[in-house]
Amino acid sequence: MRIEKDTLGEIKLPDDVYYGAQTKRAVDNFPISGLKLPRRFIRAQGIVKLAAARANCRLGLLDRKIFRAIEKAAMEVIKGAHDNHFVVDVYQAGAGTSQNMNANEVIANRALEILKCKKGDYKLIHPNDHVNMAQSTNDTIPASIYISAFEAVREDLLPVLNALRGTMTGKSREFDAIVKAGRTHLQDAVPIRLGQEIGGYAESIKNDIRRISHAAGSLLYLPIGGNAVGTGINAKPGFRKYVIREIRMITGIKFRSSENMFEGIQNIHPALELSASLRGLSITLTKIANDIRLLSSGPRTGFAEIQLPVVQPGSSIMPGKVNPVMAEMLNMVCFQVLGNDTTIAYATQASQLELNVMMPVIAHNLLVSIEILTRGINAFNNKCLKRIKADAAKCQTLAETTLAIATALNPIIGYTSAAEVSKEAYRTGKSVKQVAIEKGILKKTDAHRVLDPLKLTGK
Report the length, in residues, of the chain: 459
Between CA 9 and CA 6 the distance in angstroms is 5
In this structure, the number of other CB atoms found within 10 A of the CB of residue 11 comes to 18
Secondary structure element (H or E) that encloses residue 245, with its range: helix 239-251
Between CA 200 and CA 217 the distance in angstroms is 26
Q: Which of the residues 33, 185, 364, 431 is marked catalytic?
A: 185
Annotation marks residue 364 as catalytic:
no
Annotation marks residue 185 as catalytic:
yes
Specify the DSSP class assigned to residue 223: -
Q: Which of the residues 33, 172, 257, 315 is marked catalytic?
A: 315
Pairing type for strands 306-307 and 389-390 reads: antiparallel
The amino acid that residue 234 corresponds to is N
Contact 353, 261 (CB under 8 A): no
User: Phi first, then psi: what are they for 122, rounded to 5°?
Assistant: -85, 15
User: Phi first, then psi: what are they for 11, rounded to 5°?
Assistant: -135, 135
Between CA 233 and CA 265 the distance in angstroms is 14
Please name which of 13, 219, 242 lies closest in space to residue 109, comparing C-alpha atoms: 13
Q: Which residues pair with 5 in a beta bridge?
A: 10
User: Phi first, then psi: what are they for 183, rounded to 5°?
Assistant: -140, 130
Specify the DSSP class assigned to residue 235: P
Q: Would you please indicate which residues are annotated as catalytic (active-site) residues?
A: 185, 315
